[in-house]
Structure formats: C-alpha cells, structure tokens
C-alpha cells in the first residue's frame, strides 16, 4: 500500500468516524436548527418571545404543499422501482457495470444527467439505480460500498442549481416575479444558466465529481448492502391475483389502471402542447404515476405497492413542518435580513457574487427550499447589485449555487433518496463532504471569476 493510499484511507477513516459519531438523525438536526434559529431571532432582532413563537407556529404549515409533492415523489419512485416491469428493466441497466469503480462512476453520472433534466427525477432515479446496481454486483460476487453508491446518486443533486430547470434561474426568467418588479425586466436563462461561467462550472463538476467519488472507494471489504436494497432488487412482487368473483375482474385486471393512465397521459400531452417542455415537481410526479399505471398489472398490484411504499415517507412528514417553522421565524422576524446585511456590508462589486454564494450556502442550512430562500434573499442582493452596478445575473446564480452547494451537508433533500435507499444520513455524508469541498472550490472560483469580469 503506497503513501497516497494510506493518507486517503486515513482521511476517509477520520471523516467516517466523525460523521458516525457526531451526525445526529435528520429529525434531531431539524429540532436543533429550530432552537438555534429561535435563539438568533431573539438576540439579533427586535422580536420578542411571543412573536418568535407565533412566527414559528404559523410557519409550521408553510410547506404542506411542498411536503405533499416530495412525499408523492418518494412514494411514486418507490412504487415505480418495485413494479415487475421496472425490476426487469433495472436489472438490464444494472448489469452494465462490471467493477465497483464503473458502478460508482455510472451511478453518479446517471444521477447528474437525470438532475439536469429535472432535479426531483435525479433524486429518485439515482437511488433506484444505485440499489439495483448494488444488488446486481452482489449477485456476481463483486464487492461494492452501497453508501458510496447512494452518495454518488445524491451528489448529482448539485446540478439542481446549475441546470435550466433550477428554481432560482427559472424564477428570474419568469414574468411577474419579484425580479422583474425590481429590475423592470426578467433575467433570461441566457444571462444565467447558458453563460460561459456556468457552463464551465457544470462541465468541471460533471467530469471531476465522479472521479473523486471513485477515488474515495474503500480499499477494505465494503459494507454489505442493506436488506432493503436486496428487497428492492427482488425479481417479482407477490400479491393475490386469483380471480374468484366478478369484482376481481375489475380489481385484478389491467383495464382500470390502463384507462386512468390514458387519462393522465392525455392531460400531460395537453400540458406540454400548451406550455412547451415545462416541468415542475407536480408534472414529474404525474409522469411517474402515468408510467406506474401502464406498468402495473392491476389495481390490486398498484395498491399492494402503494401500501409497501407508504412507510418510506415518515421522515418527510415529521421534518418538513419543522423546516417550515424555521422559515416562518426567518421571514417574520427579519433574521435573514440581519444575517444577509452583515455579509453584504463587507462586499465590493467584484466580490458581491461570491458573497451571495457564501450567504446562500449558510442560509440554506435553515431554509433548504430554493424558492423560499430566493424570495427571502433575492430582493436584498438584487437591490445591492443595482446600487453597486453589478450584473444581477451573477448575484442570482451566486444564490442558486449556494443553495445547491450546502445541500451536500444537510439532510433536507437527502430524505427522499435515503428513504428509498433505507440508509441513515451519516452513512453517505462521509462521502458527500469531499464532494462539498470540491464543488465549493469550483463554484466559489466561478463566482470570483464572474465578479472580476464585471
């Protein structure tokens, strides 16, 4: 074993021990963040205890729609992965990697491209593929680290802030948004996503990130894949399909699910005809449900899979209200303004995009929703950009970068993927931390380059 490999193992071992010892469960993190944000609001704003608790209580319901969307995404992804037809298709794709290194790279790249198409799609598809690949390699006697595969699938989520479907650049390019009200115009995607700065960062991450994760692979015997992973890769799902009475012809035949699938497919066709290739989390969910309806053999199979998938949404249902409460405190007490003003006061025209990137990364720990974060920070930074003569597009992408960057260190968007994988958050963060460092250098350097050219 050479010195480089020993150093790499030492660093990896230290990170592993640190995360396993000091990383709480996602629910505990949400509670701790709630306490911290409450304390900061009391210290740095004029809000008293009654106002802070009122803001928190009213905010608890603020993400119910989003919580439902994410829960459906988890459930539909779980169901889709467990249909018998999907199992056969995944088996074919999962057989492509012949070695563990090929598996780490393929899952990471596949998840990255899926995220570029639609960010929620990347989370679900990445987890499903990682599980299938892990099981396929295990069947062939190839040792693979399942948490590293899932970390690769989640790391692809970094592209949510760089792609055309990113919430922040899409909001800026949409008429009627606060961006248009502040600037008197929209900020087209050609000014944000499709710039040489952003495309350079995107390509660098797409090349270097899979290589980094492959380099981080353990040299010792990797962890066995979880029971859930083995379960998910089973060839067939068992349910009662015996025809015994007239209603069984409706419940255990394909007719009704196919009809409903045709209805949903028709709606989607009209949606794309009227709106172009416009994707949202809702549309992605209905696309997944449409696929499910065409892939299941009957309503009985569908409900069997739905019931099995229902347990995977528990974490989301208990944690999202806490994050919504945090958002309520930040928005109602003005704490985000206090935090942002501190960083803005030390910026210059050349460094403002970089400062926006750092501030967004910090605030993202408490406000992980890109839309909510942009609504809170966007007006402040856009106004500052106008006063300093800085291109607002650079600041907008700085916020988008920061929002997606620190997702690699907090569990909010990891919940759907971890629910499907059946893993604890600490098992993947020991790998996403190095990706966090790499992406921080690339995205931070891009913001400094962009700022220096203004």
- pLDDT at position 44 is 92
Distances 188 to 191, 195, 196, 380, 393 between C-alpha atoms, Å: 5, 11, 14, 20, 9
- pLDDT at position 12 is 53
- pLDDT at position 229 is 45
Put simply, whether the predicted model's pTM sits higher than 0.85 gets the answer no
* Residues of the chain under the 50 pLDDT cut: 1, 8, 224, 226-236
What are the φ and ψ backbone dihedral angles of 131, each rounded to 5 degrees? -65, -45
Query: Which helix H or strand E contains 40, and what residues bound it?
Result: helix 26-44
**Cβ count near 5 (within 10 Å):** 10
Say how many CA atoms lie within 13 Å of 381 toward its Cβ. 31
Look-up of token digits 């003003």 = 341
- pLDDT at position 248 is 62
- pLDDT at position 45 is 92
């Amino acid at each position: 074993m050479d010195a480089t490999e020993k150093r790499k193992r030492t660093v990896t071992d230290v990170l592993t021990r640190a995360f396993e010892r000091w990383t709480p469960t996602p629910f505990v993190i949400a509670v701790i963040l709630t306490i911290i944000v409450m304390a900061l609001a009391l210290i740095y704003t004029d809000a008293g205890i009654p106002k802070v608790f009122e803001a928190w209580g009213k905010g608890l319901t603020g993400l119910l729609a989003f919580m439902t969307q994410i829960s459906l995404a988890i459930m539909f992804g779980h169901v889709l992965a467990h249909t018998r037809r999907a199992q056969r298709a995944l088996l074919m794709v999962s057989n492509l990697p012949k070695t563990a290194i090929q598996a780490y790279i393929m899952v990471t790249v596949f998840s990255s491209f899926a995220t570029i198409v639609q960010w929620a799609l990347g989370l679900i598809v990445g987890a499903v593929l990682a599980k299938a690949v892990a099981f396929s390699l295990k069947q062939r006697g190839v040792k693979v680290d399942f948490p590293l595969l899932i970390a690769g699938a989640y790391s692809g989520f970094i592209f949510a802030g760089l792609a055309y479907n990113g919430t922040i650049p899409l909001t800026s390019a949409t008429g009627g948004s606060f961006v248009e009200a502040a600037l008197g115009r929209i900020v087209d995607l050609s000014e944000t996503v499709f710039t040489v700065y952003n495309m350079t960062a995107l390509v660098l991450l797409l090349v270097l990130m899979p290589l980094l994760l492959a380099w981080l692979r353990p040299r010792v015997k990797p962890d066995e894949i979880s029971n859930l992973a083995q379960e998910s890769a089973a060839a067939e799902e068992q349910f009662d399909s015996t025809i015994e009475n007239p209603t069984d012809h409706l419940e255990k035949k394909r007719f009704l699910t196919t009809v409903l699938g045709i209805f949903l497919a028709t709606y989607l066709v009209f949606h794309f005809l009227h709106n172009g290739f416009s994707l949202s989390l809702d549309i992605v969910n209905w696309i997944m449900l449409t696929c499910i309806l065409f892939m299941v053999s009957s309503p009985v199979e569908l409900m069997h899979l739905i019931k099995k998938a229902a347990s995977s949404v528990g974490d989301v249902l208990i944690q999202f209200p806490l994050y919504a409460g945090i958002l309520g405190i930040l928005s109602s007490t003005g704490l985000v303004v206090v935090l942002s003003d501190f960083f803005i006061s030390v910026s210059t025209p050349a460094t403002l995009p970089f400062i926006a990137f750092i501030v967004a990364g910090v605030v993202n720990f408490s406000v992980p929703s890109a839309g909510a974060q942009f609504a809170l920070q966007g007006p402040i930074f856009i106004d500052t950009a106008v006063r300093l003569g800085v291109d607002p597009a650079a600041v907008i992408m700085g916020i988008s970068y920061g929002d997606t960057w620190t997702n690699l260190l907090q569990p909010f968007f990891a919940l759907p993927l971890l629910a499907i994988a059946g893993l604890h958050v600490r098992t993947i963060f020991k790998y996403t931390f190095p990706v966090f460092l790499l992406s921080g250098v690339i995205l931070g350097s891009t913001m400094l380059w962009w700022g220096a050219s203004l």
